[in-house]
Structure 1
Amino acid sequence: MGTPCSPPPASDSAADSSAEFSLRRIAVAAFGPSLLFGIGEGAVLPVIVLMARELGASVSIAALVVGLVSIGSLLSNIPASLITARWGERWAIVAAGLWSALGMAICMLTQQLWLFALGCLMVGMSQAVYNLARQSYLTEAVPVHFRARALSTLGGVMRIGMFIGPFIGAWAMHAWGLHAAFAVGMVGVLCAAAIGLRVPDLAAPSALPGQAVPTEAPSIAGILRAHHQLFLTLGLGVLLVSAVRASRQVVIPLWADHLGMAPAAASLVYGLAGAIDMLVFYPAGRLMDLKGRRWVAVPSMLVMGAAMLLMPLTSTVTTLLLAAMALGFGNGIGSGLIMTLGADHAPRHARAHFLGLWRLAADLGSSLGPALLSFLAGSLSLASGIACIGLVAWGAAAALARWIPPAKR
């Protein structure tokens, strides 16, 4: 059974001196691809449903095609761990960029709906490989007392890219048509792959003092057996966190539509919530490093739960905006949380295999959250569904408070 570990908070001076050196050395290679990959994907994701409709898909089929991105990521977490373990983080990042660009090229050039759907599936597959490789790399490359800040920054930079991407894609579509968004996406992910080539290779992990180097090659089944209790406890909390986070992307536009708000006003509310989300990732990561993971994990879910419970009570643009900004704040302070918890518990000699399973649990939650909201909204009401997701968030807070190990002092 895996032994939970939580990195001790270090003194500010000691932590910052060595950490800043490490981060300065890998900053462009580590965070540059994340920004560009986010821009590339952000440019194409809003356009997928429009392209599918243009190719003759019905509304339901177009929604399914959009879902193929998430399905591709979900199904590729375990293969991504094997690819990263076999070829290393650097080449996994490069391969993910090339595979995503190929998928986007298929989407841009084809006139066949099934080929377009295949391209969307490939984009989702590349997400899994890229996300696991970047997380695995920083887990090993960054000192443990700076880990949460590094991974929170990684998540925050990706969100910034996803925020910028749609604007660049909209500009390109205005100038050259709908297909131009995929050209922007290809440029973004190919530039991410090019910068990924600069990622320094990591040395093979050595045994910690007092520990022997494992003689057997790691396997997915072996990691699952060794850490099954962790996955059934803290892993369940991670699944709930992902379910709440994925639901938040649907909740704001749905409730805005329920209130009869104009699309422009709904987009403004969504955008401002996203802006708050992007502003708080680094302070939250610093707090996790200095005080422990619980100090951010539990408040993040409590705030998101409260915002979800209050949202059905809103009736104007102002009150909805306040609830949406609270939702964005709660989500923003949790940036990098799931990656950090996975990094804390990943065994050094089977890091990629463990993180593949960890990301699988998170992606399952991301798939189940909107599905649960849809079921509750259909069987009860939209307000009841949103409120129930708020209760799920508070359940996630309780799970994280119970199973995140306390920081060592």
Structure 2
Amino acid sequence: MSASSEDFDLRRIALAAFGPSLLFGLGEGAMFPVLALSARELGASSAGAGLIVALVGIGSLLANLPAAALATRYGERRAMVGAAAFSLLALALCLGARTPWVFGLGVFMIGLASAVFLLARQTFLVEAVPLHMRARAMSTLGGTMRIGLFAGPFAAAGFIHLMGLQGAYWAAALAMLGAGGLSLAIPDLEPRAPGSTATAPKVGMKTLLREHGHVFLTLGTATALVSALRSCRQIVIPLWADHIGLDATTTALIYGLMGGVDMLLFYPAGKVMDQHGRLWVTLPSMLIMGTSLLAMPWTTGFASLLAVCMVLGLGNGIGSGIIMTIGADASPREGRTVFLGMWRQITDLGGSGGPLLLSGLTAAASLATGIMAIGGLGLVAAWMFWQWLPRRPVSG
């Protein structure tokens, strides 16, 4: 069935489109909570353990452009299979590590693999799904990853109970094996047009920068701010909870409830974007997230912080998939994979830079000042989207 037909049904390709991403997210979610603990167990200091955990993001950041080259050369499906196999090798290093730095190498490799896998999956979906359902596809892709990351720690809990911390990596290995096996077994998704496959002319980064520089500077910067907000919200909640005297169990409860709200909204958000335009979701998402962070320093206890975090989860949930959707809309047919790799590079810089900005402002002024400044970025992003985001997608 051609994806360009009006009766295209996303459910028919659900397993092929989203199954590997769900399993990959499950694998990452299984090991993320124990990375710092494993590093400490191997003798790393607290600062060293923090650096090792950060290697996931650093690896992803460094791999975005090479990932585009790999996906362009070998195809998206083979790139996903290769990323899953590379993750298994990385997990083997983590399991066999006897020093923090060997363990850190394994963690870094997982970040590299993640960039390849996610870029290949996004490119594949852009080609397979018609424009009138693109936002639903992108938001569902983001939603399945979130579900996997949320469920991963629970899936790993039984393994950890039986095997100790290493059980988390065995659980992750099973999930990655499933992701690679499913990517290998499922048929290729059908592209919408013959010219959209790997046979299309190759376009380099310099050409894309010259022809699409304005998009990168405007919408690219705005989506980088979105990424900064998302990365910072995971930091500010436990920090502010500790600041107002809440214990770790209470903080985890707040975070879990927020995550539940976040995960429930990805498909409705995509449907609204498809039917009414991207701005109908992007603008309220940024306004809600920005305002919530601005309000957080005024909370003084469990009830008020929970209320703010639930609203924050609502804002993030309705924004599920906006970075990928806007990037897909802006991407040209020729050179699409490279363009999306550059797009991910910009947004990942935002995700890495946000916590650095938060840390610097907190050190220079106060935690409340840092949180409110990050909230202000949400309002800036909302303004930028209002200025430059097309009311209707124009890409094919």
| TM-score normalised by length of structure 2 | 0.95
1:277 aligns to 2:266 (yes or no): no
Q: Measured at CA, do residues 47 and 397 of structure 1 come closer, stay the same or move farther in structure 2, by a change above 3 Å? A: same
1:297 aligns to 2:288 (yes or no): no
Report the more deviating stretch, 390-399 or 109-118.
109-118
1:139 alignment partner, one of 126, 147, 155: 126
- Decide whether the 8 Å contact of 2:219 with 2:389 is kept in 1: yes
Aligned to 1:229: 214
Q: What is the aligned-residue identity percentage?
A: 51
Q: For residue 313 of structure 1, what is the amino acid of its counterpart? A: W
1:19 alignment partner, one of 8, 26, 35: 8
Which contiguous aligned blocks of 4+ residues in structure 1 show a shift greater than 6 angstroms? Answer: none
- Decide whether the 8 Å contact of 1:105 with 1:183 is kept in 2: no
Give matches, 1:184-223, under 5 Å. Answer: 184-197=171-184, 198-200=186-188, 202-203=190-191, 205-206=193-194, 217-223=202-208
**SS at structure 1 position matched to 2:44:** coil
- Decide whether the 8 Å contact of 1:90 with 1:201 is kept in 2: no
Q: For residue 306 of structure 1, what is the amino acid of its counterpart? A: T
- Decide whether the 8 Å contact of 1:342 with 1:358 is kept in 2: yes
**SS at structure 1 position matched to 2:55:** helix
Aligned to 1:319: 304
Aligned to 1:116: 103
Give matches, 1:312-391, under 5 Å. Answer: 312-391=297-376
- Decide whether the 8 Å contact of 1:42 with 1:162 is kept in 2: yes
Q: Which runs of 5+ in 2 are unaligned?
A: none
1:262 alignment partner, one of 235, 247, 253: 247
1:107 alignment partner, one of 90, 94, 97: 94
| 1:408 CA displacement | 7.0
**SS at structure 2 position matched to 1:285:** helix
**SS at structure 2 position matched to 1:348:** coil
Aligned to 1:5: none
Give matches, 1:33-52, under 5 Å. Answer: 33-52=20-39
Q: For residue 188 of structure 2, what is the amino acid of its counterpart? A: P
- Cα deviation digits, residues 228-261 of structure 1 (max 9, x gap): 1110111111111111111011111111111111
**SS at structure 1 position matched to 2:335:** helix
- Decide whether the 8 Å contact of 1:30 with 1:138 is kept in 2: yes
Aligned to 1:153: 140
Aligned to 1:177: 164
Q: Measured at CA, do residues 103 and 215 of structure 1 come closer, stay the same or move farther in structure 2, by a change above 3 Å? A: closer
User: Higher relative contact order at CA 8 Å, sep ≥6: structure 1 or structure 2?
Assistant: 1
Q: Measured at CA, do residues 53 and 408 of structure 1 come closer, stay the same or move farther in structure 2, by a change above 3 Å? A: closer
| 1:26 CA displacement | 1.7
- Cα deviation digits, residues 135-167 of structure 1 (max 9, x gap): 001001001100001110110011001000011
Give me the whole-angstrom Cα distance separating, in 2, the residues matched to 1:386 and 1:199: 46
What is the aligned length? 390
**SS at structure 2 position matched to 1:18:** coil
Q: For residue 154 of structure 1, what is the amino acid of its counterpart? A: L
Give me the whole-angstrom Cα distance separating, in 2, the residues matched to 1:29 and 1:88: 15
- Cα deviation digits, residues 88-135 of structure 1 (max 9, x gap): 110011111111111111101111221101000000001100110110
Give me the whole-angstrom Cα distance separating, in 1, the residues matched to 2:296 and 2:158: 33
Aligned to 2:48: 61
Give matches, 1:386-397, under 5 Å. Answer: 386-397=371-382
| TM-score normalised by length of structure 1 | 0.92
| 1:169 CA displacement | 1.5
